[in-house]
Amino acid sequence: MNIKNINHFQNLEIEDILQIIKKAKEFKEILNSKDKIKIKELKSTLELKKIALCFFEKSTRTKLSFEIAAKNLGAELINLEVNSSSIDKGETTLDTLKVIAKYGIDAFVIRHGLSGIIENLEKNINLPIINAGDGIHNHPTQALLDLMTVIEKICQDDLEKLKNLKLCIVGDILHSRVAKSNIELLSKFGVEINIFAPPTLFPYYLKIEGIKLMKNWNEVLDYSDVIMMLRLQNERMDNGFLPKSSEYHKYFGINQIIENRIREKQIFVMHPGPVNYGIEINESLNHYKNNLILDQVENGVYIRMAVMDYILN
């Protein structure tokens, strides 16, 4: 195993991914055990390591969970406050990172609005970079925490069950880095992936072998063990992708009728967040036992601990 960066899954073997998930579960067990000695011991894992969090695009879950993960492992954090940085004076992203690298950093965690920027940065910065989401391109740690959640909550830790699992990704596939990373990761494990999306929000280059495009909710409900809803990414859309968000909710969201059928069939529901209530799902879905959204949030901390441990140790 000799991986410097976590940007996508092309250079990660299944064994590497399983090792990260196994480590995340170990961290979860220790933190949930409330065993003060073991929790304190964790803090020596990344002692004396400095991690720079550089979020050029907004985030709640990813940023905070990386922060908590780094603190749990005893790493020192350097947080780039983009709004008060010299970016506004015209300094480039690359120059900003080169400056930070000179302050004795061991690794970067970067979120950026430009798709593919991480590949470019990797060529110019000789330090590990963890991709925390780049434009509409990749969000690898989200896919890892999603996989961990699926293995834990749906497969009850039986990896063989993944090969029989049917998962449908619903919504704004075009602008979703989460969808792209999940398709890449979950298909490595034999999960059957289907898509249900408005034609304007489905990129046809994703029409890859094995991925079926569902025609309507009936097909989705008949053919899914788990439904992964996506956020409608209005900030990445000009006019013209959709008539109205209420129309979207009616045809592609989990409206009340669809929610009732999901509950009847006990289908699992995931969403990377943040959620737009009344568009992708209704708030009532928060009271559904097979809603895994907060499990995804929680596993984000453990996966990011495991990823930092994997990269830096």
* Residue with smaller CB distance to ligand CP, 81 or 158: 81
The CB-side HSE value for 62 (13 A sphere, CA atoms) comes to: 28
d(CA 268, CA 289): 9
Smallest separation (angstroms) from ligand CP to the CB of 15 = 26
* Contact between 307 and 20 (Cβ < 8 Å): yes
- Identify which of residues 214 and 305 has a Cβ nearer to ligand CP in the complex: 305
In this chain, which of 274, 284, 286, 313 binds ligand CP, going by CB under 6 A? 274
> Could you give the CA distance from residue 299 to residue 147 in angstroms, rounded to a whole number?
10
| Residue 263 backbone phi and psi in degrees, to 5 | -65, -45
Which residues are CB-contacts of 46 (< 8 A; sequence separation ≥ 6)?
A: 70, 73, 74, 75, 308, 309, 312, 313
307 φ, ψ (degrees, to nearest 5):
-65, -45
If the CB atoms of residues 31 and 229 are measured against ligand CP, the closer one turns out to be 229
For ligand CP, the closer CB: 62 or 138: 62
Q: Minimum distance between the CB of residue 55 and ligand CP, rounded to whole angstroms?
A: 9
Look at residues 222, 219, 225 and name the one whose alpha carbon lies nearest to residue 252.
219
Which residue, 62 or 194, has its beta carbon nearer to ligand CP? 62
- H helical segments located in 2-92: 14-33, 36-42, 61-72
Binding segment (CB under 6 A) for ligand CP, from list 82-90, 99-107, 249-257, 269-277: 269-277
Looking at beta carbons only, is 144 or 214 nearer to ligand CP? 144
Q: How far is the CB of 132 from ligand CP (least distance, A)?
A: 7
* CA dihedral sign of residues 173, 273, 177, 59: positive
Binding marks (x or -) toward ligand CP, 107..136, rule CB under 6 A?
--------------------------x---
Nearest alpha carbon to residue 230 among 207, 265, 264, 202: 202
Strand order in the sheet with 166-170: 212-213, 192-196, 166-170, 226-229, 268-270
29-68 binders of ligand CP (CB under 6 A): 59-62
Q: How far is the CB of 272 from ligand CP (least distance, A)?
A: 4
Among 165, 272, 285, 292, indicate the residue that binds ligand CP (CB under 6 A): 272
**Which of the ranges 46-54, 160-168, 182-190, 267-275 carries the binding residues for ligand CP, by CB under 6 A?**
267-275
CB of 104 to ligand CP, least distance (A): 27
Rounded CA separation 69/195 (Å): 32
| CA separation for the pair 244, 215 (Å, rounded) | 20
Phi–psi pair at 14, nearest 5 degrees = -55, -40
Query: Interaction with ligand CP in 85-104: which residues (CB under 6 A)?
Result: none
Query: Which residue in the set 7, 142, 149, 181 belongs to the binding site for ligand CP (CB under 6 A)?
Result: 142
Smallest gap from Cβ 59 to ligand CP, in A, equals 3
Residue 273 makes contact with ligand CP by CB under 6 A: yes
Residues in touch with ligand CP (CB under 6 A): 59-62, 133, 142, 272-274
